[in-house]
Amino acid sequence: MHKAVQFAIIASFAALALSETAAQDAVQAQSSQDLAAVPADIPSSGAPPADLPEEGGACDTRRYSMQITVVGVREARGTITVDVHDDDPAKFLKSGGKLARIRVPAQQGETSFCVTVPKAGVYALALYHDRNANTKLDKNFIGLPSEPFGLSNNPPRRLAMPRHRDSAFEVNGPRTPVLIDLGK
C-alpha cells in the first residue's frame, strides 16, 4: 500500500482516538516562565486533579514524575495537550480512558514540562499541538488531523490503531525522560 495512504489511515485512527477524549478536560496546566519544570499532579484516586500544577522544582521533590519534552513544535501558538494513560491497554486512546489531561503553552522548537504520577508503573502518552487553543484536535475535510500529534516512544505509524505496548514506558523515579517528536 502506498505510504501516503497508509499514513492517512493511521492518522484517521489517531485523530479519532484523540478527538473522542478532547471534550473531557481533566486538567488545564499553567506554565512557568521557562517551562522547564511545570509539574502537574495526577492523584492516586484516578479522579482528575483538583489543583493546578505548582511552579518551580516540585517534580524534584515528588517520588514519581515524567519530564516530557515535545520536539518539532513549529510555532509558539496554542497549547500542547497531553493525555496520560495508565497500564491498561483496553483503555488506551478510548473515551474516558485517560488518567489526566494536561495543557501547557506551546513553545517553538521544544516544549518541556513535568507531570507527577501517583505511583511507579507503566504509562503511555498521547498528545497534540492545539495550535488555535480551541481544546479539540482539528481535522480537515476528510477527517484527518490538521494539527500535529504524537505518542510516547514515537512508534512507527501503521495501518491500525496505535497499540498501548508501542507507546508504554515505565516510571520508576523522579523526572523519567519522555521525548515525543511531532515532526514524525
* pLDDT greater than 50 at residue 174: yes
Asked if 123 and 171 touch (Cβ cutoff 8 Å), the reply is yes
pLDDT tier at 161 (50, 70, 90 boundaries)? Answer: confident
Phi–psi pair at 98, nearest 5 degrees: -90, 155
For residues 134 and 57, the model is more confident at 134
Burial class for 17, CB neighbours closer than 10 Å (0-12, 13-18, 19+): buried
| 66, burial (CB in 10 Å: exposed 0-12, middle 13-18, buried 19+) | buried
Q: What is the structure's pLDDT at 44?
A: 58
C-alpha dihedral sign at 164, 126, 98, 20 = negative
Whole-angstrom distance, CA of residue 89 vs CA of residue 168: 9
Counted domains in the chain: 1
Average the pLDDT over each of 20-24, 48-52, 90-94, 146-150 and give the range with the smallest value.
48-52
Per-residue pLDDT of 58-77, as tens digits, reads: 677 889 999 999 999 999 99
Q: 174 φ, ψ to 5°?
A: -75, 145
Range of 171's domain? 3-181
Percent of the chain surpassing pLDDT 70:
67
Pick from 152, 75, 138: nearest CA to 106: 75
With H, G, I as helix, E, B as strand and everything else as coil, classify residue 154. Answer: coil
Interatomic CA distance for residues 167 and 162, integer angstroms: 8
**In the chain, what percentage of residues exceed pLDDT 90?**
58
For the question of whether the overall pTM of this predicted structure is more than 0.85, the answer is no
The pLDDT value recorded for residue 61 is 81
Q: What is the model's pLDDT at position 160?
A: 76
